[in-house]
Amino acid sequence: MIAQAVQMERTDERMSRMLYYNGTVITMEEPFCAQAVLTEDGVIRAVGTFEDVRAAAGEGEKCLVDLQGHTLMPGFIDPHSHFTACANATMQVDLGEAECFEDVIRLIREFIERENIPAGQWVRASGFDHNRLKEGRHPDRTVLDQAAPEHLLMVSHQSGHMGAFNSRALEALGVDGHTQPPQGGMIAVKDGEPTGYMEENAFLQYIQKAPMPSPEAFLEAYRKAQKLYASYGVTTVQEGMMSAPLGPLYQLLLHSGILELDLVAYLDMEAGDELKRQFAEHIGKYKDHMKIGGYKMFLDGSPQGRTAWLREPYLPVEEGAAGPAGETTAPSPDCGYPTLTDAAVKSNILRAERDQMQLLAHCNGDAACEQYLREYAAALAELPDHTPGDIRPVMIHAQLLGLDQLERVKGLGIIPSFFLAHVYHWGDIHLKNLGQKRAERISPAHSALEHGIRFTLHQDAPVIRPDMMETVWCAVNRMTRNGVILGTEERISVADALKAVTINGAYQYFEEDKKGSIAPGKLADFVILEQNPLEADPIDLRKIRVLATIKEGTCIYRADGQGTGEVR
């Protein structure tokens, strides 16, 4: 039973020394496995055989933690997600199971009734995917008006890159048929009126204009989000885009003292100076479990939404079929589009390099990857005293990163963080949108290894849950929902996949001296797994359960639901 999976011979919560034994310890460095670990005051003191570690512990008081044959390894490091968006999702209508517009309408109506939301108030919904709706397109305001005729409603696509508003919301936001979208965005118009559907910068701009939930509601949502990450063995999380409106929320979060996980935040370039002023004590170092890691910019959209920027066009929508935005004739072949000009990308790179702040760039399509590589090289040419890779720039998602681009990725010292779970969740859609050859090259992890490129793997929560064993499973198997093996030659080993969510994640955050492996002097950040992933059948990797998550020696999650405190 899970409740009996990990036991202690002493339960004195004042005990600062803990000896983990009777299980497999995956260290993530040579030697790759050990028998026991000794920690003291949240720091690893000894690793090795049980006899050697017990001798190192000496005769002083200590808690003996019996792993009962289970596996202890470094806590998972989330290389990219959106912590506040995960919190926000707990306060929204979950449309993830919707299969048609009728489901969307029903789920929203049920939420409004269940939560007793007064007429005239905002309602938020998220998680639908037009690719899985029977209608094959995004719901527009005519659908949303049926769901919430008396409320202001906005719904977000599962990718977070697009969504729609009902008529009341459009009116409140001042959007009409003459409203011009911002650079890198789209507002759909039909017969001179907005349909309610928006993409990229337009959608992001208008969702930020809607009023936010109360501070009290957000604090409770943050607690739920933190518990969600911990339940998947994650001990370090990311705020992947900290915009100006999030500043007060983070002040509230830090003041509350509820953060147990380490959190690394990346600042919206436009609000960077003000946010750095507000969080000056957090720049590049943790305080109250939160640090500012650098800047973030978006270069394109999402491939499943056909807004990722490609070098070659998407396959056309079948003639006569409804396109994703509701058009009834097939659009001309398109390549998606950029969200920033070349000049803006180069300017952002120069700023990050001069500020010595790490830069994360969202690049899904190979044209966006090309823009990042081209402008990075141009920026470094203006900074002869800067060494490529000194700020460890990151290419977020890098899904359609071309094999011909890998050598430049290595030369510029860029770390790709692959959203490899796309292979399972949207691989069948990519086959339809991109064709076999390009779809098989999604997230070329094995090719990156062959080029000597260090990479990480992420889940981009709340797009999907922060289940790091799922992303390991995806990297090893590369199987779609329909059971298609997508890119056999890009599969990687279990060990390499585990590195991408532990030691490589620590390297991405400049924390490899404190996290990512089990070695003396590093933090006692652990996850206890039901089974050793190195010995499991690869097809069963995502079935391996997290039994406990330990942050600096304190158990912050137990699968038996007994809450936080010392591991017992």
What is the CATH number for 372? Answer: 3.20.20.140
Q: Across all residues in the chain, what is the average pLDDT? A: 93
Report the relative pairing of strands 546-551 and 554-558 from DSSP bridges.
Answer: antiparallel
- CA dihedral (174, 175, 177, 181) in degrees, to 10, reads 130
Domain boundary among 207, 240, 256: 207
Do 48 and 128 belong to one domain? no
Do 541 and 500 belong to one domain? no
Predicted confidence band of residue 322 (pLDDT cuts 50, 70, 90): very low
3-state secondary structure of 212: coil
Residue 534 CA, chain-centre distance (Å), reads 24
Q: Are 497 and 26 in contact (CB under 8 A)?
A: no
Over residues 498-522, the pLDDT tens digits come to 999 999 999 999 999 999 999 999 9
Residues 384, 379: Cα–Cα separation, whole Å: 9
Q: Are 16 and 60 in contact (CB under 8 A)?
A: no
Do 489 and 347 belong to one domain? yes
> Residue 355: pLDDT above 90?
yes
Report the relative pairing of strands 71-74 and 24-26 from DSSP bridges.
Answer: parallel
- The residue range of the domain holding 98 is 93-207
Look at residue 206 in the predicted model and tell me its pLDDT: 93
Do 484 and 541 belong to one domain? no
The encoded tokens of residue 270 equal 């436009």
Residue 159 sits at the vertex; the CA angle it makes with 153 and 164, to the nearest 5 degrees, is 25
Residue 378 lies in a domain: yes
Question: How many residues would you count in the chain?
Answer: 568
Tell me the chain's radius of gyration from C-alpha atoms. Answer: 24
Residue 224 lies in a domain: no
The side-by-side arrangement of strands in the sheet containing 76-77 is 76-77, 234-242, 262-268, 290-298, 358-363, 394-397, 415-418, 456-457
> Residue 566: pLDDT above 90?
no
Residue 287 lies in a domain: no
Over residues 258-290, the pLDDT tens digits come to 999 999 999 999 999 999 999 999 999 999 999
The side-by-side arrangement of strands in the sheet containing 162-165 is 93-94, 122-128, 152-157, 162-165, 193-199, 185-190
Residues 229, 236: Cα–Cα separation, whole Å: 9
Residue 369 lies in a domain: yes
> Residue 229: pLDDT above 50?
yes
Domain boundary among 207, 237, 270: 207
Residues 15, 41: Cα–Cα separation, whole Å: 9
Do 485 and 543 belong to one domain? no
CA-based nearest residue to 127, from 102, 171, 95, 89: 95
Predicted confidence band of residue 212 (pLDDT cuts 50, 70, 90): confident
> Residue 59: pLDDT above 90?
no
- Please give, one letter per residue, the 3-state secondary structure of 364-404: CCHHHHHHHHHHHHHHHHCCCCCCCCCCCCEEEECCCCCHH
Report the relative pairing of strands 43-48 and 36-40 from DSSP bridges.
Answer: antiparallel
Do 66 and 100 belong to one domain? no
Residue 241 sits at the vertex; the CA angle it makes with 237 and 247, to the nearest 5 degrees, is 95
Residue 567 lies in a domain: no
Predicted confidence band of residue 159 (pLDDT cuts 50, 70, 90): confident
> Residue 15: pLDDT above 70?
no
Do 398 and 477 belong to one domain? yes
Q: At what angle do helices 215-231 and 246-256 cross, to 10 degrees?
A: 70
Omega before 520 within 30 of 0, i.e. cis:
no
Do 448 and 522 belong to one domain? no
Q: What is the mean pLDDT of residues 422-442?
A: 96
Do 136 and 118 belong to one domain? yes
Residue 11 lies in a domain: yes
Over residues 120-156, the pLDDT tens digits come to 999 999 989 999 999 999 999 999 999 999 999 999 9
The per-residue b/e assignment along 68-102, b for 16 or more CB within 10 angstroms, e otherwise, is eebbbbbbbbbbbbbbbbbbbbbbbbebeebeebe
Report the relative pairing of strands 36-40 and 17-21 from DSSP bridges.
Answer: antiparallel
Predicted confidence band of residue 561 (pLDDT cuts 50, 70, 90): confident
The encoded tokens of residue 296 equal 């973030």
Q: Are 454 and 504 in contact (CB under 8 A)?
A: yes
The dihedral sign for the CA sequence 514, 517, 518, 520: negative
Which H or E run contains 525?
Answer: none
% of the chain beyond a pLDDT of 90 = 88
The encoded tokens of residue 42 equal 């949240």
User: Dihedrals φ, ψ of 441, to 5°?
Assistant: -95, 5
CA-based nearest residue to 207, from 124, 105, 149: 124
Residues 239, 291: Cα–Cα separation, whole Å: 10
Do 447 and 367 belong to one domain? yes
Do 504 and 358 belong to one domain? yes
- CA dihedral (119, 122, 123, 125) in degrees, to 10, reads 160
Predicted confidence band of residue 6 (pLDDT cuts 50, 70, 90): low
User: Dihedrals φ, ψ of 286, to 5°?
Assistant: -80, 140
* Cα 109 to Cα 95, 106, 133, 363, 513, distances in angstroms: 12, 5, 18, 36, 51
Prediction pTM value: 0.89
Predicted confidence band of residue 5 (pLDDT cuts 50, 70, 90): low
> Residue 60: pLDDT above 90?
no
Residues forming a β-bridge with 457 = 418
CATH of the domain at 49: 2.30.40.10
- CA dihedral (470, 471, 472, 477) in degrees, to 10, reads 90
Give every CB contact of residue 164 below 8 A, 6+ residues apart in sequence.
Answer: 138, 139, 140, 141, 144, 154, 155, 195, 196, 197, 198
Residue 9 lies in a domain: yes
Higher pLDDT, 329 or 442: 442
Residue 257 lies in a domain: no
Domain boundary among 207, 242, 267: 207
| Number of structural domains found in the chain | 3
CATH of the domain at 148: 3.10.310.70
- Please give, one letter per residue, the 3-state secondary structure of 173-205: HCCCCCCCCCCCEEEEEECCEEEEEEEHHHHHH
Do 498 and 534 belong to one domain? no
Give every CB contact of residue 169 below 8 A, 6+ residues apart in sequence.
Answer: 122, 152, 153, 154, 196, 210
